[in-house]
A and B are shown apart, each in its own frame.
Chain A
Amino acid sequence: MVSSGVAALDPLLGDGYPDKSTILVVGPPGIGKEALGYWFTHSGLIQGDFCVYVTRLSVKEVLQDEKGFGVDSQKKVPFWFASEGGQIKYDVNDLAGLSHNIKEILNQNAGRRVRIVIDAISSLLMLNQPETIYRLLTQLFADVKQYDAVLLATLEEGMHQPQVLAAMQQLFDGVVEMRLYEEGLRVLPLLRVRKMRGVPPQPGYFNFSLTRDGMEVSAYVK
């Protein structure tokens, strides 16, 4: 198992993300699903894993966001695919390049655990036919699973058709939902582990809060 980087989340996942797995984090803009990616990357860097961060933002923007969650990537730096400031420039139109570069990285780090975070799935889906992205991800996942790698991707809720969301959830080994729910006159952020390979289905919801010190999780009771 690979730690998620969030001590409070690992028990819900069955001690972390499964080896050689692909994880999808779904949530609306602003809820903090990228924070799971930041903590996942940061924990990997501390443990000596090779970490790749794929984003359509610039490195500077991501580092700024990370600071809000208490993550400091200045000392240990992941391998960046970013629009600016990264080792490889992220080109939203170059799907083949993206796939090829990730495969190359996996090849070059065959003896190490690799953690890949992709924070650009939604933009890929908005700019391409969903079927194109399904094929891309299917091929990418096949490559990831040949190595000791875990891939975590984020997807924006509310930006895609329900059938696209459902199809995406089918592709991944694990799905974590961070959503806003109405309870009377309140809006609650709740987390749910929709599915996770090797773990029995968990129907429950969990309250969560994200702070600079990490994530706090508690059982939701109506």
Chain B
Amino acid sequence: MSSSDLVLTILNVLAYAPLLALVYAAYWAFDIRHALTVRLFRNQAFGLGLFSLVFTLAALPSPQVGSNGILGSVPFQIGYILVTSAFWLGAIYFVDATALASRRSDPLLRDTLHWSKVRYVLWVFQVFNVSFILLGISLSAITGNASYANQIIQGNNGAFTSLPAVIANLAWAAAFGSMIMFLPIAIRSRNPGLRRHLKWLAGVPVALGVFVIVLIIVSSTPAETFLNNPAGNVLGNTLLYLAVGYCLYRSARALVPLNRISLSSSDQVPGNLA
């Protein structure tokens, strides 16, 4: 095995490290959810766990794309679209749950950006988008014809060349657009815990933004060659998803104050129920 193959093999193994980080973040969110009893705050924790799991799926090391830039087999395309559909709905759920929980912790119970009304419109819009997409890929699965799935994937890449592509773009816009809610919530909130939670959550778009900026900076430089080859690609994605995983983990832990049990010598006796 050559040294470059060895490096690539090591990197491909390391590519699974972000999955551990993301699953760990989801685990903390779900464990905190399990410990809470009020539905509003349980949903908030569940939303974060769901969001982390969707990123886990997105971070799964994937087969190389075909030479024409279109992902290979129909089953893989369908899987890819199912993951993005989960993200579209998961993002709305997470934003909705966080907004509702933050209202409860606001001393003035303010309805940020009239979310109590806007949420219904957003949900209907996104469910429509996802239903349309899922209907289409069902047809792709039944007929074995990849063209519909390809159109959706082109939409995921920013194209507006067909109706499915436009719907996909609208779904992305709704998912990311709804996250704008976090900013006024964080600004308005006087809850230090919620602000800490949202601050770490903001690390996710920051990590994504830094990644994009680095790609832009290194384009047309010798470093671009490294990033475009498999090893560079894997390394870049690994670092990105590790950063995202860490931010989601810290965000999960900031959902509620977590204490440590301090058992001094006088505390060693178990609680007395007599």
What residues make up the interface of A, taking CB atoms closer than 8 Å to B? 11-12, 28-32, 34-35, 56-57, 65, 68-69, 83, 92, 122-124, 126-127, 156-159, 179-183, 185-190, 202-206, 210, 217-222
Contact = CB atoms under 8 A, between A and B. Distances in A.
B256 A28 contact: yes
Interface of B: 27-28, 31-32, 34-42, 44, 101, 104-105, 107-109, 190-193, 256-261, 263-264, 266-267, 269-274
Contacts of B191: 29, 156, 158-159
B271 A181 contact: no
A65 B271 CA distance: 29
A180 B261 contact: no
Interface SS of A by simple majority: mixed
B104 A219 contact: no
Contacts of A158: 191-193, 256-257
A220 B35 contact: no
A29 B43 CA distance: 12
A219 B270 CA distance: 6
A122 B107 contact: yes
A197 B62 CA distance: 63
A157 B271 contact: no
A185 B269 CA distance: 23
A57 B32 CA distance: 25
B35 A187 contact: yes
Contacts of B32: 180, 187
B162 to A, nearest CB: 44
Contacts of A34: 38
A182 B258 contact: yes
B259 A181 contact: yes
Nearest to B106: A123
Contacts of A182: 258-261
B38 A181 contact: no
Nearest to A159: B191
7 contacts: A29-B101, A30-B40, A30-B42, A92-B108, A127-B108, A159-B192, A203-B266
Contact of A11 (B38, B270, B273): B273
B193 A28 contact: yes
A218 B269 CA distance: 13
Interface centre among B28, B35, B41, B190 (most CB of A within 10 A): B35
B273 A219 contact: yes
Given A28-B257, A126-B190, A179-B259, A188 B273 contact: no
A29 B38 contact: yes
Contacts of A221: 270
B38 A30 contact: yes
A154 to B, nearest CB: 12
Contact of B39 (A68, A123, A126, A205): A68
B21 to A, nearest CB: 15
B68 to A, nearest CB: 46
Given A31-B37, A180-B35, A202 B193 contact: no
